[in-house]
């Protein structure tokens, strides 16, 4: 079974968007339409390492029983064509955080972790397919001290490709739309350049991308190890607002000495992967 620490971290981090974002729109693109984020990535000239699409549905003031969560799990399995995968129960959730060599047999398995406690029920499921894409979904419901909330997250990591990102995003939204309409989608691209780009070259790459999308820098951090820049651009319809700031594009770069590659991270609205 392959590590999916990044997936789990995304699932946790995305929940905060429901509370820090005062405005966010979710857009379903028509078939064949190119997502603006694809345009942004292609303008970067980087080699694609992975594309990550995470769609989160919150259902406030609602609690699902364990039986209802299991029923939702079966429905999502069907919608994601996972019905024929063999379920393998993982007793310790933290086993899902560790790197293990994936085998051919693992492609036919759906790893499941179930957790129940007083007022809390959740299921996490993950599968790695033949292309080394990782699909994870999480169903959570809780009533803690009178605070009732439920959510479902579908997280897809595509290995070294991104061309069908629009279809995957629309599919996740269609599946979750059956259970509610408070949805948010976060898209992360990770790309690489061979060798080490100088600080000046890295800054120029970031600025070129921003200029190509008519963007405006909101905040920027430049350190010895990385560059991180948040941007607002009119070409991307989805945006979040916090305080008096409006953001819908996040760019970051850093060098990996071990691989001798410079990594580029591009996300809408904010990067939720470790960099």
How does pLDDT run along the chain (275 residues), one tens digit per residue? Answer: 444 444 444 444 444 444 344 444 455 554 445 678 999 999 999 999 999 999 999 999 999 999 999 999 999 999 999 999 999 999 877 766 555 556 667 889 999 999 999 999 999 999 999 988 999 999 999 998 889 999 999 999 999 999 888 899 999 999 999 999 999 999 999 999 999 999 999 999 999 999 999 999 999 999 999 999 999 999 998 899 988 899 999 999 999 999 999 999 999 999 988 77
12 within some domain: yes
**Domain-embedded: residue 258:** no
The answer to whether residue 205 is domain-embedded is: no
- Does a structural domain hold residue 163? yes
Q: Does 138 map to a domain?
A: yes
Q: What is the CATH number of the domain that holds 15?
A: 3.30.2030
- Nearest residue to 157 via CA among 182, 187, 181: 187
Residue 139 lies in a domain: yes
Q: Which domain holds residue 104?
A: 5-27+52-186
Which residues, at least 6 apart from 90, have a Cβ–Cβ distance to it below 8 Å?
96, 111, 112, 113
CA distance 249 to 233: 7
Is 143 a domain residue? yes
Residue 225 exposed, middle or buried by CB count within 10 Å (0-12, 13-18, 19+): exposed
The DSSP letter of residue 156 is: E
Task: Tell the residue number behind the tokens 């499941």, with chain if given.
Answer: 112
Report yes or no on 154 lying in a domain.
yes
Q: Are 77 and 110 in contact (CB under 8 A)?
A: yes
Query: What's the DSSP call for residue 195?
Result: S
User: Can you name the residues that pair with 245 across neighbouring β-strands?
Assistant: 242
pTM for the model stands at 0.87
CA–CA distance, 255 with 192 (Å, rounded to integer)? 9
When divided into structural domains, the chain yields a total of: 1
């Amino acid at each position: 079974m392959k590590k999916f620490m990044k997936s789990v971290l995304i699932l946790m981090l995305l929940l905060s968007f429901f509370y820090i974002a005062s405005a966010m729109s979710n857009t379903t693109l028509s078939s064949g339409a190119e997502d603006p984020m694809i345009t942004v990535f292609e303008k970067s000239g980087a080699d694609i390492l992975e594309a990550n699409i995470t769609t989160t549905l919150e259902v406030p003031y609602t609690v699902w029983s364990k039986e209802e969560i299991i029923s939702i799990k079966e429905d999502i399995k069907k919608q994601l064509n996972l019905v024929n995968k063999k379920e393998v129960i993982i007793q310790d959730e933290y086993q899902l955080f560790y790197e293990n060599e994936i085998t051919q047999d693992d492609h036919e398995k759906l790893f499941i972790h179930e957790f129940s406690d007083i007022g809390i029920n959740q299921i996490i499921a993950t599968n790695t397919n033949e292309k080394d894409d990782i699909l994870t979904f999480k169903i959570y419901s809780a009533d803690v001290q009178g605070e009732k909330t439920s959510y479902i997250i579908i997280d897809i990591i595509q290995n070294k490709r991104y061309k069908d990102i629009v279809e995957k995003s629309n599919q996740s939204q269609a599946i979750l739309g059956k259970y509610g309409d408070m949805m948010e989608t976060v898209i992360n691209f990770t790309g690489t350049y061979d060798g080490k780009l100088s600080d000046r070259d890295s800054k120029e790459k970031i600025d070129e991308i921003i200029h190509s999308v008519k963007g405006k820098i909101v905040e920027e951090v430049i350190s010895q190890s990385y560059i991180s820049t948040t941007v607002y651009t009119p070409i991307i319809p989805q945006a979040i607002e916090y305080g008096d700031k409006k953001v819908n594009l996040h760019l970051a770069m850093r060098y990996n000495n071990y691989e001798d590659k410079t990594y580029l991270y591009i996300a809408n609205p904010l990067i939720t992967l470790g960099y």
